Structure 1
C-alpha cells in the first residue's frame, strides 16, 4: 500500500500505533514500537472507564452531584464556549442531562464571524445565558505582539489561561461549584508540553519584557489565584467526554443538523489568532504541526488508519485568505519585522520565568486536587513533572 510505504520511508521512528514520531517532545517507544503517549491514554481510559458502563455510571453520579449542589441557584454549572464543536456539543449534552448551565466566553476580539454565530445559534436554541469577558482589544493585541516579538511558540497562550480564569470568576460570582470542559483525550490526546506551555508567570514575564501597555482588563491567573480557586473555593473541573464514547465527527454532524451550526474549516480554526498559530506561525517558524495531536488520537482509536492520518498530517494546513495580512495590520507589524521574526531562531518557554518548578514542587498537592477533579488530570500529568528540555 502506497501510504504504508510513505510511513516506512519517513526517515524518523513513528509510533506503531499512532503517528507520533521521534520529534515529539519527551517521546519514548517500548519494545513493540508503541509510544509512551499511547500508554498514557490507555491508563486514562482505564482510570476513567472511558466509553464503558463504569464510566457512564461515574458520569451520571457526577451529574447528580452537580444538580444537588446547584439547588436554589439560577445555574448549576459553567461551560466555556468558543463556537467550536466540543464546547457547543457540551452545552447541548448538559441540557439533555437536565443541568442548568451558564455559558462563559472569553473574547480576545479575534473571533471569526462563524464562531460568533455558532455561539448565538446554539445558546439561543437551548435557552442558555451567556457571560462574556471582553478584554480591551489594544491590550490583548499588545500581549499577542509581545509573544510574537519574544520568538516563543505559545503566541496564543494568553487566551487559554484567560478563559480558565474567566470561568472561575463567573463560577464565584454566581456561587457555582462545577465547571464542565469539552475536552476529550481520546479525540485530541494530551498535548506534549514541549512547545505548548503556559502559566500566569510566563505570560506576565513575556509581556513585561516585550509589551508596551499595562495589563488592566486581561484576567491573569497567578499561582496564588489558582490555588485559591482550586484548594480554597474548591471549584471542580469536570471533563465529561473523558468518561464517554465521544465522537467529534458525530457531534459535528448533529450540531449542523440540529442548530444550523457551521464548521469553520479545521481544528482550532474558530478564532483567527488561533488559526494563525496553527496554520502559519508554528509550521513556519517551529516546523511544528499541532494537527498531529488530533490525527494521532484518531489513529490510536481506529477512527482513521495510521496511513490515512499520516497522509493528512503531511498535507499543508488550511490557511485562511489574507490571514497573514490581517495579523500584521492588526498588530501594527511591518513586512520587514514579520519576516525577521519568522526567520529568527526560535526561543522556548524555559528561557523565561514560569511557575513550572513551583508546580513540580507542589506535585503532591496537585495529585490530590486532580483526584478530586479540582484541577484537570491533564494539568497534573503535563505540568507537575520535569519536562524534557529541547536543545
Structure 2
C-alpha cells in the first residue's frame, strides 16, 4: 500500500454547517455525501473521486488488499503470525495479551485466542468509570474461558483530576488519558511477563479508521494539559512518554497484532455468540460500556463541538452492505442515546457546579494544536514509524493518523 497523502481539514463550506443533526432523509440534504458510505463533506480531509466515493472508502479498499482481509491471503498470513506467537511463547505462562473492556470486539477476541490454542492474559485498564454491564461482561467471558485477568486501576481521584483538567482546558479529547493509558499499560504488562505479542480487537472493516479530527492524544499533550489545569500529581496513571513509547517499540520489540484486520469478522454475529454462550450483554451503543466514554460520545462532543463519531461505525455498516445508506444516515441524524443522569453523574464526580459546567460547555472550543504535543516529532520520524508499523511494532492506524501533517480543527 502506498503512503497516504497529508491530512487536511474541511473548508469554509463545511465549517458553516458543523456536525449538527440534518434531515434524516438522505435525499433531502444539502451536503455532498459519499456514494458508498455516509461520510459527508464535513469530515476532516475528505475528498471524492469521479464516482462520488470518498477517500476513506478507498482507504478501506487499500487496506483489505494489503492485509487480504477475509481472503485466503489474510488467513494464510495470520496463520503464520499464530505460529510465531506459539513459538515465541514456549515455556512461558502466557504467549499473548488481549486488552479487554467488556465490549464486543475485545470479548470476542479472547474467545478466538482460546480457539486458536493460545494462552492469553487478559488486561484491563480501569479508569473507575466502567458501567456495571461492562464489568460483568469481562468476568462472565473470562470465567467462562478460564482466562486470567490483570487489571490496573488508576486511583479514582487522580483519574478524575486528569479528566477534569481536560474538561477545563476546553479541548475535545476528554478521553485521551484513557486511550493512551490503556495503550501503555498493555506494553508495560507485556514487558513484565516477557510477552512479545499484544492482540487488539479493532476491525477497520467494521469500524473504519477514524479521521484525525478532534481525537488526538499523546503523552506530552496529556502531561501539558494536566500540569496547567490539574491539581494533584500523577502517581498511578501510566503515562506513555515519547521515550517510553520508543523503548517498547525498538527495544522490547512488542508486536501489536490486529487479527480482525486479516480475518472475516461480523460484529453482529459476535454479539449473538457472546450473548448465547456467556450471557454477555450489549451496552446500548459503540463505546458506551464506559460512562466517561459515553459522556464524550453522546454529550460532550455533539453539544460542545458539533461532532458525532457514530458515523464511523454507521459508514462501515453501509460500506459493508449490512445497512442501507438511507438507514445509516437516518440513525446518524437521530439524537444520540444518553443515559439517564449521565450529566449529573459527570458533574458530581468531577466536582463541577452547574454554573462552571455551563460556562465550559458554552466557551469557545479549543483544539489540540494549542497545546504542546509530539505531533511534529511523529511527522519528522515518519519513515521510522512506517517501518515500525510494517513490522507490527506500532499500530498501522497510528502511522496513518499521526505521522502526516494536519491543519488545526475549525
Q: Please say whether Structure 1 and Structure 2 have the same fold, judged by a TM-score greater than 0.5.
A: yes
Q: Which residue of 1 aligns with 2:274?
A: 255
Contact between 1:25 and 1:388, CA under 8 Å: does it hold in 2?
no
- From 14, 39, 42, the counterpart of 2:61: 42
Number of residues of Structure 1 aligned to a counterpart in Structure 2: 389
CA distance in 1, matches of 2:55, 2:406: 14
- From 98, 101, 111, the counterpart of 1:79: 98
1:272 has 2:274 as partner: no
SS in 1 for 2:352: coil
Contact between 2:24 and 2:333, CA under 8 Å: does it hold in 1?
no
CA distance in 2, matches of 1:35, 1:201: 33
- From 160, 169, 172, the counterpart of 2:188: 169
Q: How does 1:36-115 map to 2 (within 5 A)?
A: 36-115=55-134
Q: Deviations over 1:264-295 (max 9, x none)?
A: 11110000000000110011101111100000
- From 350, 363, 367, the counterpart of 1:348: 367
CA distance in 1, matches of 2:31, 2:283: 32
Contact between 1:4 and 1:307, CA under 8 Å: does it hold in 2?
no
1:245 is displaced (CA, Å) by 1.2
Contact between 2:23 and 2:29, CA under 8 Å: does it hold in 1?
no
SS in 1 for 2:122: strand
Q: How does 1:225-374 map to 2 (within 5 A)?
A: 225-374=244-393
Q: Deviations over 1:289-325 (max 9, x none)?
A: 1100000111111111111100110111111010000
- Is there any run of 5+ residues in structure 2 with no aligned partner, and where? 1-21
* Structure 1 residues 72 and 329: CA distance shift in structure 2, 3 A: same
1:92 is displaced (CA, Å) by 0.2
1:184 is displaced (CA, Å) by 0.3
SS in 2 for 1:196: coil
Q: Deviations over 1:116-155 (max 9, x none)?
A: 0000000001010011111111000000000000111110
Contact between 2:122 and 2:148, CA under 8 Å: does it hold in 1?
yes
Contact between 1:200 and 1:220, CA under 8 Å: does it hold in 2?
yes
Contact between 2:98 and 2:122, CA under 8 Å: does it hold in 1?
yes
List 4+ stretches of structure 1 deviating above 3 A.
none
SS in 2 for 1:73: coil
Q: Which residue of 2 aligns with 1:17?
A: 36
1:10 is displaced (CA, Å) by 1.5
Question: Aligned-pair RMSD on alpha carbons?
Answer: 1.2
SS in 2 for 1:44: helix
Give the structure-2-normalised TM-score.
0.94
Indicate the larger mover: 23-32 or 213-222. 23-32
Contact between 2:198 and 2:255, CA under 8 Å: does it hold in 1?
yes
CA distance in 2, matches of 1:375, 1:149: 31
Contact between 1:194 and 1:388, CA under 8 Å: does it hold in 2?
no
- Is there any run of 5+ residues in structure 1 with no aligned partner, and where? none
1:40 is displaced (CA, Å) by 0.7
Give the structure-1-normalised TM-score.
0.98
- From 162, 174, 196, the counterpart of 1:155: 174
SS in 1 for 2:37: coil
CA distance in 1, matches of 2:355, 2:265: 45
